[in-house]
Amino acid sequence: MKTAHEIIWQKKAPDNFIDAGALVIDALNELNEVNLSYLIVKENDDVTGIFSERDYARKVALQGRSSRETRVKDVMSTDLPEVQGNDSVQHCMNLLAEHGRRYIIVRDNGEFEGVITIHDLLREILLHGERALDVRVTRTLIEINERPPRVY
Can you tell me the mean pLDDT for 96-100? 89
* DSSP assignment string, 50-105: EEEHHHHIIIIITTT--TTT-BGGGTSB----EEETTSBHHHHHHHHHHHT-SEEE
Convert the pLDDT of each residue in 41-65 to its tens digit: 999 989 999 999 999 999 999 999 9
Q: Is it the case that residue 87 has pLDDT exceeding 80?
A: yes
More confident residue, 144 or 96: 96
How far lies 105's CA from each of 9, 65, 135, in Å? 14, 27, 23
More confident residue, 146 or 126: 126
Other residues' Cβ atoms within 10 Å of the Cβ of residue 81: 16
The predicted structure's pLDDT at residue 152? 42
When the pLDDT of each residue in the chain is averaged and rounded to a whole number, the result is 87
Entry pTM: 0.81
